[in-house]
Amino acid sequence: MTALTLSTAAAPGLRADAIVIGVAKGAGGPSVAPGAEAVDKAYDGRLAGVLETLGASGAEGEVTKLPAPAGFKAPVVVAVGLGAEPEKDAGFDAEALRRAAGAAARALAGAKKAAFALPLTEAADAGVVAEGVLLGAYSFDAYKESAKDAKGAKGKGNGKAPLAEAALLGGKPRDKAYKAAVERAAAVAEELNRARDLVNTPPNDLNPEAFAAVAQAAAKEHGIKVQVLDEKALVKGGYGGILGVGAGSASGPRLVKLSYTSPKAKKSLAFVGKGITYDSGGISLKPAGHNETMKCDMAGAAAVFAAVVAAARLGLEVNVTGWLALAENMPSGSATRPGDVLRMYSGKTVEVLNTDAEGRLVLADALWAASQEKPDAIIDVATLTGAMMLALGSRTYGIMANDDAFRSAVHEAAEESGEPAWPMPLPEHLRKGMDSPTADIANMGERMGGGLVAGLFLREFVGEGITWAHLDIAGPAFNEGGPFGYTPKGGTGTAVRTLVRVAERVALGDLG
Ligand code: BES
Ligand code: MN
Ligand code: ZN
């Protein structure tokens, strides 16, 4: 990952490949953002005009490269758009800074060192810029042999290595709050990028067993307790949902439990992640055009995994248990059929009407397992329904809950972290659509409101009296379009930052 430092150096004398500055969209054209005064001065105060001539407007995500002024050690200035100028006396919006830092870091792939002279008015701004840089500089090239040189290093062809080093100018390296903000950003971004790697790893290399091994290794490294239930243990325990989904695959399912405990914890949280390492649909096979990106169907489990490790690295004063429900959904002679009835871990029976509605089946068992420990709250994260994508698009995830205040609190945590999310209802009338003539419930209901139907199904497997929220991240988990801001193509790491923020707030006692 990109190495990050706080620096008090002045821009002109700095040895770097580029100096990054901010440009805002002002009423009369682009304006140079605070933090870049020395750069502007070196252009005789004419930088805004130069940028305008070059076609820059200050719009979000816009990147303009220009030669550095005479006397500068760095050869290039990279001007990145911050969007609309803030109101008088207000600072730039955190997410605008994060995205601009990310866009600049992305544009600097292949460079060794860049200095970021973006507006930092307080420690939190340094954290936000650090996060943007570290998330924007991400790339996944593990499988691109053509982009590697003879020694296996990146840099050949178009396989540009991510920006190696970033210095945040105006960063107060001796200030405790600044240092803490950057350290937090580094821990969260590093784990989030690992979650992206897991999502991007092809499904022939990341089956449930391999994912469990990755979790085991990380747990060991960070002092997290880990328990892996393999197929035999799942049979013994009666985990009919996870087993039913994994039944068709040559790679058996797993349930991974990660327990991070703090001696100072007053509250406990359980995070539950959908970890379908590949979703073919099973016997209800997905048609071509709907399965090419289904390696992303374990993004919920990857987010939960990353959040638990981040909580441990940050030493948060809250107990966090992560449950990864891992299975591969494949058709075969041993696969679950539409019409089969599964006896779930909770004891309820489920008629499987569509084997492609598999996420709710593995989550049901994991939610019930999590409930047995009576945590103060449970949050599950899942690429659960195409219906949620139809409702909210590909950049916003849906939040459902059995408690209005908790749903709002999770939404607030999402907003604070820069993750677009929106509250969704659980309308009671949709429950009867899942009535089954044979079993306690069917795994499918009305087509209309399919995302909410899935949420209602999950609610049945949350222990009595336990506060619960469900995040359907089917839209934003995997970016099929081009990169934007600090979001790359492919796995995005969605929900990691929301989960970490919820854990932080619970630890501080200002959530529920
Ligand atoms: N993993 C899919 C949902 C999904 C779709 C995630 C697109 C990301 C992108 C899930 O298992 C699924 O297949 N859901 C079905 C449910 C239906 C059969 C009730 C769906 O949404 O079509
Ligand atoms: Mn499916
Ligand atoms: Zn799925």
pLDDT of the residue at 293? 97
Which residue is closest in CA terms to ligand 1's atom 3? 385
Give the span between the Cα atoms of 370 and 376, in whole angstroms.
11
Q: How far apart are CA 44 and CA 46, in angstroms?
A: 5
Rounded to the nearest 10 degrees, how much is the dihedral formed by the CA atoms of 227, 231, 233, 234? Answer: 90
Dihedral of alpha carbons 492, 397, 307, 210, sign: negative
Index of the ligand 1 atom closest to the CA of residue 383: 6
User: How many helices and strands (H and E) does the chain possess?
Assistant: 14, 20
Q: Where are the domains of the chain?
A: 3-170, 190-508
Residue whose CB lies within 8 A of the most ligand 1 atoms, among 296, 336, 352, 356, for a mutation test: 356
Q: How far lies 100's CA from each of 14, 20, 246, 259, 350, in Å? A: 21, 10, 42, 36, 48
Beta strands (DSSP E) in 68-132 are 76-84, 113-117
pLDDT at 154: 67
Q: Would you say 488 and 162 are in contact if contact means Cβ atoms under 8 Å apart?
A: no
Helix (H) or strand (E) holding 135: helix 123-136
Measure the CA–CA gap between 421 and 308, rounded to whole angstroms.
21
Burial readout 346-375 (b: 16 or more C-beta within 10 A, e: otherwise): bebebbbbebbbbbbbbbbbbbbbbbebeb
Catalytic residues: 286, 360
Which residues lie near ion ligand 2 (Cβ < 5 Å)? 279, 356, 358
Distance CA 178, CA 497 (A): 19
Residue 88: per-residue pLDDT: 84
Is the CB–ligand 1 distance for residue 131 below 6 Å? no
Encoded tokens for 222: 């960070």
The ligand that comes nearest to the alpha carbon of residue 448 is 1
Does any ligand 1 atom lie closer than 6 A to the CB of residue 327?
A: no
Kindly report the CATH class assigned to 190-508.
alpha beta
Q: How far apart are CA 301 and CA 212, in angstroms?
A: 11
For residue 305, how far is its CA from the centre of ligand 2 (angstroms)? 21
Query: What is the torsion angle, in degrees rounded to the nearest 10, for the CA atoms of residue 47, residue 53, residue 54 and residue 55?
Result: 120
Phi, psi values for residue 476, rounded to 5°: -80, -5
Q: Which two structure tokens, joined as six digits, stand for 340?
A: 């089969």
472 lines ligand 1 (CB under 6 A): no
Side-chain-side CA neighbours of 94 within 13 Å: the count stands at 15
How many Å apart are CA 262 and CA 268, to the nearest integer? 10
Nearest alpha-carbon partner for 163 in 91, 227, 108? 108
Task: Estimate the share of the chain in helix, then strand, then coil, as percent rounded to the nearest 5.
Answer: 35, 20, 45
**pLDDT by residue for the chain (512 residues), tens digit each?**
999 999 999 999 999 999 999 999 999 999 999 999 999 999 999 999 999 999 999 999 999 999 999 999 999 999 999 999 999 888 899 999 999 999 999 999 999 999 999 999 999 999 999 999 999 999 999 999 877 776 667 665 557 899 999 999 998 999 999 999 999 999 999 999 999 999 999 999 999 999 999 999 999 999 999 999 999 999 999 999 999 999 999 999 999 999 999 999 999 999 999 999 999 999 999 999 999 999 999 999 999 999 999 999 999 999 999 999 999 999 999 999 999 999 999 999 999 999 999 999 999 999 999 999 999 999 999 999 999 999 999 999 999 999 999 999 999 999 999 999 999 999 999 999 999 999 999 999 999 999 999 999 999 999 999 999 999 999 999 999 999 999 999 999 999 999 999 999 999 998 85
**Which atom of ligand 1 lies nearest, measured to the CA of 447?**
19
Q: Could you name the CATH architecture of 3-170? A: 3-Layer(aba) Sandwich (3.40)
- 291 close to ligand 1 (CB < 6 Angstrom): no
